[in-house]
Amino acid sequence: METPRDEAQKACVLGSGAFGTALAQLMARKGVPTTAWTRSQDVTDLITSTHENTPYLPGIKLSELVVATTEVSEAAEGASIVFVVVPTPFIRDFIVKHRDKIPTGVPIVVCCKGIENGSLLTPFEILEEELPGKYHKHLACLSGPSFAREVALGKPTSVTVAAKDMACASKVQEMVSDLNFRAYTSDDVMGLELFGAVKNVLAIACGASDGFEFGLNARAALITRGLAEISRMAVKKGASPLSMGSLCGVGDLVLTCTGSLSRNWTVGNRLARGEDLDTITTSMRMVAEGVKTASSVVALSDKMGVEMPICQEVFEVLHNKKPVMEALASLQGRPHSHDLSLELKHSEGWKSMGLGHP
Ligand SMILES: NC(=O)c1ccc[n+]([C@@H]2O[C@H](COP(=O)([O-])OP(=O)(O)OC[C@H]3O[C@@H](n4cnc5c(N)ncnc54)[C@H](O)[C@@H]3O)[C@@H](O)[C@H]2O)c1
Ligand SMILES: O=P(O)(O)OC[C@H](O)CO
């Protein structure tokens, strides 16, 4: 039987934490043989012998079509789609070390949510910097409300796939979608990545607020004012303010700020309950990207002259040991200001879209 256009023959997943494993399971569910690169031999052995990635997705039986290897060349060979799911702090080293093994002419889908410390670049920007030009029109990124466990279990999930070349975004959309996983396309790569990165920092604030049992009003306010912070930065960085209404915008922000499955929310929650950051992070094998991204967001907002008070307070708590209660009080005591609707109407980005005040 002829294979339909834009259907993957083999998928390669680079990074076998919770989300990489969930994506491997998603592709296998679609009948696509999938090879996942794991950093450690013990995870490859577990997947091979038990069909379960116990450290990252315990209790979920993986398809026989998912195989694991510690060799990037083996994972990538013959792949018609590649997912990059290595946490942001390790992406650059990973790509530099393995770029000669990454196939050309097939979509490379970046699925990480963070901003690199130092360079202040997003994962997509890092790949553009480190991969030769021949890869660039094949780069896409995928984000949205998508807890790995629910994706792996085949629970209904919808995400955004963005690329600079819409043909690439559409190709990825076709390749990843099934009845339980629905992808929408976008050309706003910067918007998708900034929302995905900064929402992790805001989820730490919401986890802390929930840890103190400040209530649902406080949490809704943090989410909404958090949306204002991201939009401010995104607009100034050239992203579309309209992406705030997307799955990769408000969708993922709401999920991560309200879901106890979130690692970032959990970090904030445990901080509020009196644990210190080192204890929390060393007890987690998984990565809460918001911890390191908080430093990048504060550095980037300073550099760009963008006000991001919630992110600033999260940074103070995480990296300058400010007591959580004091940080939350600082936010409530700030000078009065405008609602986002009024603020955006006067912003240059909004005006350039013809949406500002005349
Ligand atoms: N877990 C989710 O629900 C989810 C959903 C969407 C997106 N994401 C994003 O996917 C990315 C990966 O997260 P995850 O949840 O799959 O991972 P994880 O937190 O479950 O696991 C950590 C991963 O990092 C790897 N790692 C640790 N040190 C490394 C190093 N030095 N070099 C290379 N890899 C190293 C580990 O091998 C493991 O694969 C993150 O950017 C995350 O924000 C996660
Ligand atoms: O568990 P978290 O906080 O890393 O969030 C996971 C995903 O980003 C949710 O879409």
48: CATH: 3.40.50.720
Mean pLDDT, to the nearest integer, of 350-355?
60
- Quote the tokens at residue 146: 């998508």
Element (DSSP H or E) covering residue 140: strand 139-143
Same domain, 178 and 209: no
320 and 267 Cβ atoms separated by less than 8 Å: no
Residue bearing tokens 């989300």: 19
Same domain, 180 and 209: no
User: Residue 354 has what pLDDT?
Assistant: 57
Q: Is 146 in the pocket of ligand 1 (CB under 6 A)?
A: yes
Same domain, 290 and 247: yes
Give the confidence band of 77 by pLDDT, cuts at 50, 70, 90. Answer: very high
Structural domain of 293: 197-345
Give the confidence band of 355 by pLDDT, cuts at 50, 70, 90. Answer: low
Q: Any idea which of 62-76, 265-279, 315-329, 333-347 has the lowest mean pLDDT?
A: 333-347
CA distance 322 to 303: 23
The CA 329 to ligand 1 mean position distance, Å, reads 33
**Span 111-132, pLDDT tens digits:** 999 999 999 999 999 999 999 9
Q: Is 17 in the pocket of ligand 1 (CB under 6 A)?
A: yes
Q: Which of 86, 202, 267 to mutate to test the pocket of ligand 1 (most atoms within 8 A of CB)?
A: 86
pTM for the whole structure: 0.95
Same domain, 134 and 19: yes
Same domain, 31 and 179: yes
Is residue 20 included in any domain, yes or no?
Answer: yes
The CA 290 to ligand 1 mean position distance, Å, reads 12
Q: Is 148 in the pocket of ligand 1 (CB under 6 A)?
A: yes
The CA 60 to ligand 2 mean position distance, Å, reads 18
Give the confidence band of 352 by pLDDT, cuts at 50, 70, 90. Answer: low
Element (DSSP H or E) covering residue 163: strand 157-163
CA distance 260 to 257: 8
Q: Which residues are catalytic?
A: 199
Same domain, 210 and 341: yes
Is residue 351 included in any domain, yes or no?
Answer: no
Domain boundary among 145, 164, 187: 187
Same domain, 155 and 213: no
Query: Which ligand sits closest to the CA of 26?
Result: 1
User: Residue 349 has what pLDDT?
Assistant: 62
55 and 90 Cβ atoms separated by less than 8 Å: no
Q: Is 19 in the pocket of ligand 1 (CB under 6 A)?
A: yes
Domain boundary among 158, 187, 216: 187
The CA 263 to ligand 2 mean position distance, Å, reads 6
Ligand 2: residue whose CA is nearest its atom 5? 262
Q: What CATH number is attached to the domain comprising 215?
A: 1.10.1040.10
Residue bearing tokens 């091979």: 48
Same domain, 169 and 222: no
Q: Is 115 in the pocket of ligand 2 (CB under 6 A)?
A: no
Is residue 337 included in any domain, yes or no?
Answer: yes
| Residue 3 vs residue 269, higher pLDDT | 269
Q: Residue 242 above 90 pLDDT?
A: no
Q: Is 182 helix (H, G, I), strand (E, B) or coil?
A: strand
- Phi, psi torsion values for 182, nearest 5 degrees: -115, 125
Query: Which ligand sits closest to the CA of 150?
Result: 1
Same domain, 271 and 126: no
